Structures are given as structure tokens and as C-alpha cells.
Structure 1
Amino acid sequence: MIQQLVILGATGDLTARYLLPALGALRTSGHLDERFGLTAVGREDWTADAYRAWAAEQLDRHAPELSGEEIAERWRTHTPPTLSNQTPWQELFRAHTGQMDTGACLDLAVAYRDVVHTKGLPRDSH
């Protein structure tokens, strides 16, 4: 079971229309338990309360069938993690980016760095 999720672009349209309703549905159906934590990173300089209000509004708009009371209670009781850097992106970058001599790639993307030579040309361009 997933316990932590980081959303980069957490105030965007795709998050509002798809990710938040999907997470709400997973929570309502019992696939996310009390240990689940969400770290939301966006360009807006919002407080946690401002993001909660925005997320609740998006859930009301895009997933009205979800239990608003349970979600509101989760928002009220959630304590966001304390981040040791200026932004969550810096923390992710420092934890997962290689040094300049190795290409400064995200470690998670290294498997795809030379994909044409290791896997061959893709069949389709999309």
C-alpha cells in the first residue's frame, strides 16, 4: 500500500481534475490508510490552509460523489512535513540528482538516458 506521494505541479489542472479525485476515491474505498502522506508542490505561494481550501473546492467540483466530511476531517488533522530546504523541489533535487561528471541527471531517469542504444528506436513517436 502506498504511504507517501509527492505531486509536482499540485495546483495544476490535471491535479484538480484527475489526481485529487483519484486519491479521494482510493481513500474512500479503503486503499489509502491513515499512514498515507501527500506532499503537494506548486508554483503558488500558498499556506497549507489555502491549499486545503483549494483542494476541497476542486473535489467538490470534480468529484462530488466523495464524502466531503471525511476529506474535510483529514485536511483538518493533517500536519504537513517539515522540509529542511527552501522548497520541496530543492530537497528532491538534492536527493536524486547525480553529479556533473555523471551528467547531472535525475537518478530516477538514468534508466532511460541511452534508451535508443539499449532498447532500439521506438515504434511510434508518441
Structure 2
Amino acid sequence: MNSANADRLTSYANTAIKRDLDARQRLAKSLTGGPAFHLPDLITTVLGNAGRAAPYRQALDAAEFAGDTVKGFRITYAAILKEVIKQGLGTGETPVEDLQKRADHEGLLTFLRDVGPLLGITR
């Protein structure tokens, strides 16, 4: 695996995490200053970005532990694939929890779709 793929994996992770942090900041700003007419949209955006960032955070932690970016992403890819196959899409007890579970599941699927080709796992 070449370093260009490791760089792209890291870039994907950093982008997902930055989008998550930006969405959280927009929500916090809306809550602390001014009218919050777009609150449902902001919450939905935060949940979606958090769901997409979570597997990348996991992959970066695994990469740091393994001392190798690609190896960390491979470990995470395998664990997430196993989780998605085993658990599928869960439902929550409240509408917000249901939305969160859906966003988390979509984040896992997006991670698999985007990372697999860079790891040479899928085409």
C-alpha cells in the first residue's frame, strides 16, 4: 500500500472530524445566541456528521496504536464490516435516538464505501 493512500485515508478522517466539529459549533452558537429556528436541521446535521466521523476517529486511534495508518484503517474496516453485518440498522426508543442510530449506521456504511477501495478491499 503506498503512502498516497495513507495520506488520503488521513485526509478523509480529518475532513469528517472537522465537519463534525463545525456542525457542533454551529449548533452551540445557535443555542447560545439568537433564535434557533433551524434547530431541528442543526441537530440532524450534528447527528449525521457525528455518525460519519465516529469510524474515522476509531480508525485514527487504531492507526496510532498500530503505528501504521493503513493497518489501523484495515483493522477498523474489518471490525465495522463485522458490526454492520451482525447488527444491521437498529431502532431507538425515541425519535431522536432513532435518528442517531440511523446516522451512526449510515456513517459506518459510508466509511466502508469510501475506505474499502483505498485499502484494495472493494472496487
Q: TM-score, normalised by structure 2?
A: 0.26
Q: TM-score, normalised by structure 1?
A: 0.25
Which fold has the larger relative contact order, with Cα–Cα distance below 8 Å and residues 6 or more apart in sequence?
Answer: 2
Greater per-residue helix proportion: 2
